[in-house]
Chains A and B, each alone.
Chain A
């Protein structure tokens, strides 16, 4: 089967790649695009480790065909920091030990950012439901929820 040519934008940069028609966006990111920060935990949209944004909307990259990215704006964990300037969520996750093994962290951060963009002042319950699609087996979620709440408070203060 011949490969398809896709033109899209990843983290603000125009990119082109070739992929099989059946390839997922996750395959494309981790394969031809070399962006392995997006993780595969299940491949069935249950764990959220591959969370990315498509035109700002949170999506599991494993549930999206790579060809569907044509003409859209894809955001991945690699685009979250600006150079060596970490996003406030990234900084807070580090300060508050909101990661242990770190495999869920890219997806967790992408989901947290999408949540705060929609709701800059979430309650604990809103954070918990906002991140319910992202499995973490190490932390018991406590420090993740606290880090998101704390970041939200700081970002509101700074705004």
Chain B
């Protein structure tokens, strides 16, 4: 290891992409144009559930200005009886999600697409497409979809020997849960309901695609993984990956929602048929109706404990709302809900339930928040009944190193306790609170914890020394929240050069090695790891070059402050050779300086978080306001502290929206009634207070800088923490989200 001056790691440097983003120059998905470009538009199903008997596109094709029409016939079909997976995505569902095949499965499901000389002509042409629908009864809510007489979305899908909307299950167990409950002094079982919530990225999905005469394709789009765009487009169009160049545009938010694609394969086929580059941009309404939210849920959690608070058994049953096609993130609630606790007897079961709404996509710690909502609220109730401090109860039951996690592996270091202690000792937790500050207003405080797996996986990086002795790093990961700044800090630190001399770029699929999605809280972990490895190789090469110039052993040369130096007096006396000098001599000393490292990274230890929140409830209006929020998390090492804090703050506020205001409303025909930001109510600036992050930097021993994934754990505790605070304020427990004004008012009236 080279000597570390720690000059850049841990510093809030200005991000490499910053100036472009504050001046409006950064190129996002919808900002690109190509010469000769035409516009693509999707025709979407007006029905929540309908069999597609036939589609007649002839009138649309005859409209002047129309260049191509595409239907499911133009997208590669993956037969229903054989699963073809790309990561966690099954192409059977993806091919039917981008274009309805046998059935339209939700209102807004794409059924055909048109490319035309203008958006207006394309939209007009869509209205000329005649689709013969057999309208079918629809079902939206989980409780309706699992009834024996529910309309069945997929007749081929069987559960327990009968056609069913339950499309999958997941079971994790340890010990004997019934025997565990028999030993308990207290057992509490509660059922919970959460609504689907959208990731709410401000940038709608968009792409520009060119299919050239030689069959080569260029895709310009924003996503959480250009390699995912390439692979999924290849699978859905039949074009080999070597012929698809997916260029990552700047991404305007994803939060998991851009780990799959909607437009790119359609645009490729429109471009192929029309012979013209094609641009497609979704409207916000399309985003809300047809792209994946996080699933809604029905959960039942039962926890048994001894009088001293020791948990002896826990059972969780989680029904998740997949949308029209299977694929709920069952491993979120099933695996995470009890993970940070050492419980001898656990049974955790998940059900993937299809219904006539848009197919879910990943959203920040997929599935974990709704599971934690259930578990952490029941724990709060048990602590209350036993007269225990809720944090003490969590400390008492914390998992420890060497425990076998319910989801399989044996835990290394478990830093959950540290997050609980951080909140317990934080002034927030002991701050006096006037629980009834004025008539009609009540205040309360709540806590909750959360767990997320974190991830490693494939990552590629190139580190090149430019001819003038500066540094260019190319990574394969789209940067959603400042990862370029973190990588730049690491490389500048290791090379001992000024941060401003390191530029970090994101390569496209044909210029950098395979790199997996930006998701799972993995990118800073994985990319810092490969960037470290590549930079150390470069430093080794630089030392070898200096050694050759000085005619001494490479081991006798050290690298420090951006220069090669003799390692000690025995090495001889030579004037230092700077990076700039070595770069200038590159060609005579062995050629260009640089390397690429491609690894399947491992060692991503899980993330733990504990949160504390104060709320104020307007009893007359039912409005819950968050007054104070403190979020403690083990972040391993904060390479760029401000962006680590930003992950925590952003995740918490998304959790506040989930808890208090966000939900989809459906009309009687199964159509989303609030497909706009005015009515789909995400937190605005005046809704929230400052969010205080408490970053615990307990280095991950399996990472060169000690990094631990950060982005997802912060959204896991807020739902329960806020519900527990509302209970503290009102003495009423809410088992259903969102705790929006009409629902809080109704509940309070009920309680009177």
**B-binding residues in A (CB < 8 A):** 20, 30, 35-44, 46-47, 49, 76-78, 80-81, 86, 90, 93-97, 99-106, 109, 124-125, 127-129, 131-146
Contact = CB atoms under 8 A, between A and B. Distances in A.
B258 to A, nearest CB: 10
Nearest to B480: A101
A73 B555 CA distance: 66
B85 interface: no
Contact of A43 (B26, B253, B283): B283
6 contacts: A39-B202, A44-B676, A44-B677, A46-B678, A86-B19, A94-B15
B284 interface: yes
A99 B21 contact: yes
A37 B252 CA distance: 12
A37 B688 contact: no
State which size class the interface on B falls in: 35 or more
B643 A81 contact: no
Interface stretch (B303-311, B438-446, B577-585, B650-658): B650-658
Closest 9 CB pairs of A and B: A37-B24, A103-B252, A140-B653, A102-B21, A97-B642, A46-B677, A140-B649, A77-B24, A36-B31
B255 A97 contact: no
Contacts of A94: 14-15, 18-19, 22
Contacts of A134: 684-685
Contacts of A139: 646, 649-650, 653
Contact of B686 (A38, A100, A128): A128
B685 A131 contact: yes
Contacts of B201: 101, 103, 137
B17 A102 contact: yes
A100 B24 contact: no
A140 B658 CA distance: 13
Contacts of A49: 202
Nearest to B641: A97
Contacts of A142: 645-646, 649, 690-691
A135 B684 contact: yes
B646 A102 contact: no
Interface in B666-685: 676-678, 682-685
A137 B17 CA distance: 19
Contact of A41 (B27, B199, B204, B649): B204
B35 to A, nearest CB: 14
A97 B12 contact: yes
B652 A140 contact: yes
A80 B199 CA distance: 30
Contacts of B649: 139-143
Contact of B677 (A36, A42, A76, A102): A42
Contact of A143 (B26, B284, B642, B683): B642
A36 B120 CA distance: 20
Contact of A140 (B14, B251, B650): B650
A21 B165 CA distance: 49
A122 B722 CA distance: 29
Interface in B1-30: 12, 14-15, 17-19, 21-28, 30
Interface string B474-485: 000000111000
Contacts of B204: 40-41
B646 A100 contact: yes
Nearest to A93: B22
A101 B481 contact: yes
Contact of A103 (B19, B22, B202, B687): B202
Interface string B29-45: 01100000000000000
B668 to A, nearest CB: 24
Chain B interface helix/strand/loop/mixed: loop
A131 to B, nearest CB: 4
Interface of B: 12, 14-15, 17-19, 21-28, 30-31, 120, 199-204, 250-255, 281, 283-284, 480-482, 640, 642-643, 645-646, 649-654, 676-678, 682-688, 690-691
A38 B202 contact: no
A145 B203 contact: no
A104 B202 contact: yes
Nearest to A101: B253
Contacts of A109: 22
Contacts of B652: 140
A134 B677 CA distance: 11
Given A40-B30, A103-B202, A143-B649, 11 more contacts: A37-B24, A40-B281, A43-B283, A94-B15, A97-B482, A101-B481, A102-B21, A102-B250, A135-B682, A138-B253, A142-B691
A143 B690 CA distance: 8
Among A43, A140, A142, A144, chain B packs the most CB atoms within 10 A around the CB of A140
B646 A103 contact: no
Contact of B23 (A20, A40, A78, A97): A78
A128 B685 contact: yes
B28 A39 contact: yes
Among B199, B651, B677, B678, chain A packs the most CB atoms within 10 A around the CB of B677
B690 A145 contact: yes
A156 to B, nearest CB: 21
Contacts of A39: 28, 30, 202-203, 252
A113 B343 CA distance: 54
Given A46-B678, A128-B685, A96 B642 contact: yes
B480 A100 contact: yes
A143 B646 contact: yes
Contacts of B252: 39, 41, 101-104
A37 B251 CA distance: 14
A100 B31 contact: no
Contacts of B31: 30, 36
Contacts of B480: 100-101, 138
A47 B202 contact: yes
A48 B424 CA distance: 39
Nearest to B120: A20
A35 B203 contact: no
B202 A97 contact: no
Nearest to A90: B22
Contacts of B688: 140-141
B643 A97 contact: yes
B646 A37 contact: no
B200 to A, nearest CB: 5
Contacts of A136: 202, 685
Contacts of A96: 12, 642
A20 B686 CA distance: 37
A62 to B, nearest CB: 10
Given A47-B677, A78-B24, A137-B200, A144 B18 contact: no
B597 to A, nearest CB: 26
Given A103-B203, A140-B691, A37 B25 contact: yes
A144 B686 CA distance: 12
B24 A36 contact: yes
Among A35, A41, A144, A145, chain B packs the most CB atoms within 10 A around the CB of A41
Contacts of B202: 39, 41, 47, 49, 101, 103-104, 135-137
Nearest to B31: A36
B646 A105 contact: no
A37 B23 contact: yes
B23 A77 contact: yes
A36 B23 CA distance: 11
A159 to B, nearest CB: 22
Contacts of A100: 253, 480-482, 643, 646, 650
A138 B685 contact: no
Nearest to B631: A140
Among B24, B645, B650, B654, chain A packs the most CB atoms within 10 A around the CB of B24
Given A95-B14, A135-B682, A137-B253, A101 B691 contact: no
B685 A106 contact: no
A136 B17 CA distance: 18
A76 to B, nearest CB: 7
A98 B63 CA distance: 48
B466 to A, nearest CB: 22
A38 B28 CA distance: 11
